[in-house]
Amino acid sequence: MRRWRGVSQAFRFGIAFCEASAARLIRRSGNDAELVGLAVASAEAIAAGHTFVIMNPVKAVPEVCTIFCATANAVEVLVAGTGQGRGVIGVIDGLPPVGVENDADAADRHRLLREIGYKL
């Protein structure tokens, strides 16, 4: 697993992302194989489009905030109301995944991100 820029090696984490379009795979990364496996297992159980599963205190990083949605897909917004007011519960974004990426899929994704200048 690769080291994320700016993240200490002592900071163990695993991330899984349910892709809601294109190949519809569960993408995974992190610096701890056990936590990545747990994130993938959780993502498989949730099976909801464009969902991130983060194992460990990534939210402690100051740059991380709550994100309800960032997509080009059609979405449905879930809103709930109480006596205090209304709030966004979440969104339904895209279709559920159809599998977990393998090493070749991950290499293709990394190559594409480098080609378009998104990652070094």
Q: How would residue 31 be classed by pLDDT, with cut points 50, 70 and 90?
A: very high
CATH of the domain at 102: 3.40.1520
Mean residue pLDDT of the chain comes to 80
Predicted local distance difference test score (pLDDT) of residue 45? 85
Q: 105 lies in a domain?
A: yes
Residue ranges making up the domain that contains 28: 14-115
DSSP 103: H
Q: 87 lies in a domain?
A: yes
Q: Tell me: pLDDT of 108 over 60.
A: yes
* 84 residue type, one letter: Q
Tens digit of pLDDT for each residue in 66-105? 666 666 677 787 888 889 878 778 888 878 889 999 999 9
How many domains does the chain contain in total? 1
Q: How far is 44 from 100, CA to CA, in rounded Å?
A: 8
Q: 1 lies in a domain?
A: no
Q: 19 lies in a domain?
A: yes
DSSP 59: G
Predicted local distance difference test score (pLDDT) of residue 91? 81
What stretch of H or E contains 18? strand 14-18
* 17 residue type, one letter: F
Predicted local distance difference test score (pLDDT) of residue 1? 47
* Tokens describing residue 29: 């990364």
Q: 3 lies in a domain?
A: no
